[in-house]
Amino acid sequence: MSEVKVPELAESITEGTISEWLKSVGDQVEKGENIVELETDKVNVEVISEVAGVLTEIKAEEGDTVEVGSVIAVVSDGEAQPASNDAKPEKQEEPSKEDAGKPEATEATETKEESASSNERIQATPSARRLAREKGIDLSKVKTQAGDVIRPEDVESAAKPQPQAKPAEKSQPAQAKSNDNPSKPVVREKLSRRRQTIAKKLLEVSNNTAMLTTFNEVDMTNVMELRKRKKEKFQEDHNGTRLGFMSFFTKAAVAALKKYPDVNAEIDGTDLVLKQFYDIGIAVSTEEGLVVPIVKDCDKKNFAEIEQVIVDLAVKAKDKKLGLDDMMGGSFTITNGGVFGSLMSTPIINGTQAAILGMHSIVTRPIAIDKDRMENRPMMYIALSYDHRIIDGKQAVGFLKTIKDLIENPEDLLLES
């Protein structure tokens, strides 16, 4: 017998929520096979079985919060016993007159027992089985919407009353309940663990930092022309990797962090921790909220490597495949609200970091070239939110001005790299 425990997740993560059981009681499991998915503050983690055997006990239901080290299941030695349908029923004798009068309740009881036995053989999640028991639904009559495993939404669908033929006689209208058609309808939903964590962390940052935001604007003309000239050759030389704007801003951020090291720092008690590495968090939007995977060692990566890592992390984020290692250790963050059409914003600092760079939409606007000339130029507002306890206004403005100068003169940025 082997106990399945919640594994060590990360230094700052002490608990998780059971998201989904991938195996049911009685299922055969192999050593190293995923049996349950945990939702943590940062990512979803699949827990494996350390031994081969049969899942004989589940100690925590889906939706339960479990702490690191707690036992959530038991796997016993042996193999799952397949349901046998080969045995032929014994020939039964004709019922006697005395037996013929037995009540039909016996048959109903046997039918329920057969249904329960049949339900045990059907592939369904524990929460789906529990819901089926509560609603008195026979799992053998439930149709799955996707895959072969019955899930709670399939049971809910089966529990809905089917439309019936209109009765021949008009029945008396039922008395309306006071809440049948509320004038102010609402839907109450429990926040996901991820959304609860986002809310908690943002509030902590707001309460524990002296956050200010400074702004500037960038003329994107030169970088857009450079990208237009080089993008096809770049894609050919780097196995299809596309040249985007994020690599330019990431490289500019690294150069600015080297020039203004306090922006790459954090406060730990009464100490200022100056980070001498450049692991840049790139904010990615998912259905469950914003996540910030880390592009590590950006000072040592070229443009193509940065672009490819960003694409890989974005795909993993949308597929819910990010690992804890993808999310840990960032020193500075870049967020791009421009992909959603944002013209200007004040981004919130990520965790214990000292600052965050906000990019926005590129908009063509008339710009004064000199006192006699105006031109339409592609312009982007950029913002730096920073912790004023660490960074002075002069440093923040200088940092953002460095970003602006490097983006407007991308040849200088290439030399910096």
pLDDT tens by residue, 109-134: 444 444 554 555 577 776 777 777 77
Of 11-20, 120-129, 137-146, 339-348, highest mean pLDDT: 339-348
Query: What tokens does 148 get?
Result: 């072969």
CB 257, CB 333: distance < 8 Å: no
Query: What tokens does 179 get?
Result: 């809440």
The residues, ordered by sequence, that sit 6+ positions from 308 with a Cβ below 8 Å of its Cβ are 238, 241
3-state secondary structure (DSSP) of residue 171: coil
pLDDT of residue 79: 73
pLDDT of residue 336: 95
pTM over the 0.75 mark: no
Q: Binning pLDDT at 50, 70 and 90, where does residue 168 land?
A: very low
For residue 384, count other CB atoms closer than 10 A to its CB: 25
Spatial CA neighbour of 299 closest among 275, 279, 272, 323: 279
Residue 136 sits at the vertex; the CA angle it makes with 54 and 145, to the nearest 5 degrees, is: 70
- Torsion, Cα 279 359 317 349, to 10 degrees, reads 60
- Strand order of the β-sheet with 53-58 is 2-5, 71-76, 53-58, 28-29
CB 243, CB 234: distance < 8 Å: yes
Query: What tokens does 13 get?
Result: 């993560």
Between 347 and 92, the higher pLDDT residue:
347
Query: What tokens does 355 get?
Result: 């600052």
Q: Binning pLDDT at 50, 70 and 90, where does residue 184 land?
A: confident
pLDDT > 60? residue 163: no
Percent of the chain past pLDDT 90, that is, above it, reads 42
Of 41-45, 205-209, 296-300, highest mean pLDDT: 296-300
Q: Binning pLDDT at 50, 70 and 90, where does residue 416 land?
A: low
Spatial CA neighbour of 29 closest among 7, 9, 46, 10: 46
Percent of the chain past pLDDT 70, that is, above it, reads 81
Of 118-122, 176-180, 231-235, highest mean pLDDT: 231-235
Instruction: Compute the distance between CA of residue 38 and CA of residue 48 in angstroms, rounded to an integer.
Output: 11
Q: Binning pLDDT at 50, 70 and 90, where does residue 148 land?
A: low
Spatial CA neighbour of 334 closest among 390, 294, 380, 389: 294
Instruction: Compute the distance between CA of residue 77 and CA of residue 1 in angstroms, rounded to an integer.
Output: 6
Query: What tokens does 211 get?
Result: 């956050």
DSSP 87: P
Q: Binning pLDDT at 50, 70 and 90, where does residue 301 land?
A: very high
Active site residues: 388, 392
Q: Binning pLDDT at 50, 70 and 90, where does residue 170 land?
A: very low
